[in-house]
Chain A
Amino acid sequence: MVQYGGDEVSALVVDVGASSVRAGYAGDDTPKAIVPTSYGYVVEQATGEDVSMGDGEEEGQPSRATAKMYIGQNGPSMWRPNMEIANPMQNGMIHDFAPISPLISYALKDVMRCNPIEHPVLVTEPAWNTPMNRERMAEIMFEEFQVPAFYIANTGVLNAFAAGKGTALVVDIGQSMASVTPVVDGFVLRKGLQYSALPQLVHAHAKHLLTSPTQHRPAIQLLPHQLIASKMPVEPAQPPKFTPREDRIAQTTNSWRVWAESREVDEWVQSVAGVLDQGWNEQAVMQRPPRQYEFPTGFNTYFGPERFSVGELYFNHSMIAVGPSSLLHPSDTSPSLSFASLPQDRNDNLPRPLPSLITASIGSCDADLRHSLMTNMVVTGGGSLFGGLVDRLSNELSRHWQVKLHAPGNPIERRYGGWLGGSILASLGTFHQLWISKEEWQDHGKAIVGQRCK
């Protein structure tokens, strides 16, 4: 027991990300509860109209007293009349704390069926989290969940721990943010921290590609299957034959539609898109086999060079420079396109690509540290599962430096690296002196969070 330094105190680990909330017992290798962070809510006009829809429901009181919240696998993904979709996260940080406690409560009490009063809880935070935010999280944990002990740890550090390293350069590509965090001896070097909303740009670009017509195919309608009554098989690149559910479309809220469309885009990106391992090259792209993909409308086609242009955005902005006018004026697509909100007036305002993030991060570290950071690079996050991304990154970096990339092969480990690191940390015997106990919270107040969780 002492040999591996573990001592189980049945702590819980909660990792709140942009795409999902992960929760589980410390010492496990996989989170027990994985709940989508996006949630649905319906502002109720009448009383008790909404009958129970199985386990995917949760009453959310705090800010929307009249709203009913739908959380979990059957929350946002199930179509309900007039259901809005919201996400409490913005740029990796918790932006709206109101739905956080229902989300965590759902994960801990309804999925894991455990009582948080009995368990110390470790929560994760991004490296750029504000002190106010982490204090608010501590407050929620102590005051609402009555946990006996609490700790808030940095995802960068936890990802390094998950890879078994104390010193590492963590490249974390999530759903909304890409970050490069230098971690030294389990501490984040804040001056070297770099992050950008790169995945959002990639997502917006992919959406733009799909919804704008090309010479080979018309613009693709990103209707989710919930809004389609029936469809007929069609030949590739032929207009789809389907009947939409007009009854539902009328009652569909804008936010739900945006959410559903972005899910369609994500599906497409995950199954078709990729990145060339040696930079953009027209010939190399043509040599790659096209891939077929069918959308919920029944429309299907082969995607050739397009699918590689998406991934190129992770490394440079050349793909945007090709057609800036069409990107800047997405008039032909639905007005709710999320990338309209992205600043795209100048290239400077675009989220920086990975190589520039890494260079900036390394550049702001001490010269003595650079070698150990470069040889201990950890690539993690669900976004890093993008086809060919790790190979390309390794190729790009090894042109300038001697690098060693560590990217877990297991997709679970890659996606939930932060949680896994928290699971390792909270099960260590030497860690238990770091918990902020309820007593300390009551004695010292919010200041203890900043003092303890460095």
Chain B
Amino acid sequence: MTRRLERGAEFKDWGTYVGRRLLQGLLVLWAAFTLAFIILYILPSDPVRIMLSGSGAEFANASDADLAKVRAEYGLDKSAPLQYLHALWNAASGDLGRSIQRGMPVTDLLGGALGQTVRLGLAAFAIALVLGVAVALGAAFTRNRLVRQLVLTTPSLGVSIPTFWSGLLFTQVFAFRLGWVNVFDQESWKSILLPALTLAIPTSAFIAQILAKSLSATLGEPYIQVVRSRGASEARVLLRNAFRNASLPLLTMIGMIVGNMLAGSVVVETVFSRMGVGRLTFEAVNAQDIPVVMGVVILAAAVFVVISLVVDLIYPLLDPRVSVRTARRRNAAPSPLTPPSPDGTAADLPSPTTATIQGAVA
């Protein structure tokens, strides 16, 4: 009887938790839209002129009538608040406007390019995960202090190498020197290897840093000592007992990692001439095609929000220490969506590392 009641209460908690998180996600998305709108439409004195001057010959000498026509089409002849409501209403109904440069709806452009970038991102993420876990575990397994220090310095090397250079270096060595890859071939699975590796390097370095730090913290916990005192082998302690808990902080950062890989694809896809979202972004910025840039920013925010939401929802299932109730009450699940708690504990975790990855994937 009491058990059923408890389960009912837990279920109700779960419902409110999901509802709250969904609402929070929508709020972040709305705020991201607003921020992007302020930057792209309010900040420039005349967005239409910027867009037309950037888009090339056709509009090079736009007459006032042309300008007025484009303004009317984009709703830019109205006052700023009305423009904003107009754009927000359209975005909410799935219309992100038309590209100035290509005349196509932004959603079509993004949809067409997304597949290429998702493939690149998945490949890069897989490589990054393998490399990052290997470095972190390698450091934890190594007894020799000097060797361990050496292994632990590789991540800082990884975040320092600019992707635009490593991409060119890989092309130079593997395509031109060794001839292993044909750079002009965009179809075969092999063509994705070099761009994925380029994108994976800073990501793997970030993963290794987080994992190594949390692994060494976990290894100092009492329950590990208990396992050790029972005579478990070091490999068993690491892989079975420590790794699972140590990888949890990484989980909360997946939203940020994926978002930064999307941003990193701007450089990588430009270097390797792949037609994905990144390349689309590069061309849009180059032509100052404001609606497309806006669309990409919203896409990135949406990706971040959705992934954070999913992580938040499955986190209590993976870590029994955080139940839905505690997460709700204390607002304490280390969620990227929740603001840091007043004592600054949550802020301590992501702050310096956030800074590292943001630049790292650039």
Does A associate with B in a complex? no
B residues contacting A by CB (< 8 A) are none
A residues neighboring B (CB under 8 Å): none
